[in-house]
Amino acid sequence: MKKVIYIITVLSFIIPGLAGAQGGYTAIQYVMGFGSGDLGDYISKPSFRGAVLEYQRMVSPNVSAGIEIGWNTFYEKKDYDTYTFETASLSGVQYRYSNIFPMLVTAEYNLKPDEMLKPYVNFGIGTMYTKRNTDMGIWTLEEKAWHFALKPEIGVLLEVNANASFKIAGKYYVGFKSGDLETQSYFAVTGGFAFLF
């Protein structure tokens, strides 16, 4: 809970500073996620349940700064087998879930801000909360962690009209090892709309 309060406090100082600049957008996007590393080993199937909300404020003609909050659920049903954890072995069907919530401060560089098709690069830094559940019969193993997180991104904004653009992007989220959870990482393909102001 202390970390959530800390994040909200930091963002409350950043957002008013961004508000003094002119222009920007708010975007909402659908996310498909593809686990890599430890997350990919734990759940091999892609995630089709996710969303991202972004806010970007222009600080110069080519550069904007903002925040990003997202969510992805990875899920997989494993076949009947014997699974070992530490000193216990259980036989049965496993259901695996991993809910991931990135919360990042971002900076974006627009390569062609005055064109109808605007390619950009974006970089985010912040935290990522992971809640991992392994269900088997009446048993549940739950692991939670707050990770230090980074996110590089490339994408394009396609102007639909003066007030909206279609946004498509490729992102790579990395939440570094925290507590008992190894580094959690995944590729994301996103698509949605950016509402300009």
Per-residue pLDDT of 54-99, as tens digits, reads 999 999 999 999 999 999 999 999 888 777 767 777 788 899 999 9
- Position 88 scores a pLDDT of 72
> Which token pair is 34?
């593809």
Q: How many CB atoms lie within 10 A of CB 72?
A: 24
Which of 30, 99, 26, 109 has its CA nearest to residue 67?
26
Would you say residue 18 has pLDDT above 60?
A: no
Residues 6+ apart with CB under 8 A from 12: none
Per-residue pLDDT of 148-192, as tens digits, reads 999 999 999 999 998 999 999 999 999 999 998 999 999 999 999
**pTM of the full predicted structure?**
0.85
Residues 6+ apart with CB under 8 A from 25: 54, 55, 56, 157, 165, 194, 195, 196, 197
Separation between Cα atoms, residue 173 and residue 153, nearest integer Å: 9
Residue 31 pLDDT class (50, 70, 90 cuts): very high
- Domain ranges in the chain are 2-196
Would you say residue 127 has pLDDT above 90?
A: yes
Q: Which CATH number fits domain 2-196: 3.30.1330.10, 2.40.160.20, 3.40.50.11930, 3.30.930.10?
A: 2.40.160.20
Would you say residue 16 has pLDDT above 50?
A: no
> Which token pair is 9?
């406090």
Q: How many CB atoms lie within 10 A of CB 180?
A: 9
Average pLDDT score over the chain: 89
- Position 140 scores a pLDDT of 87
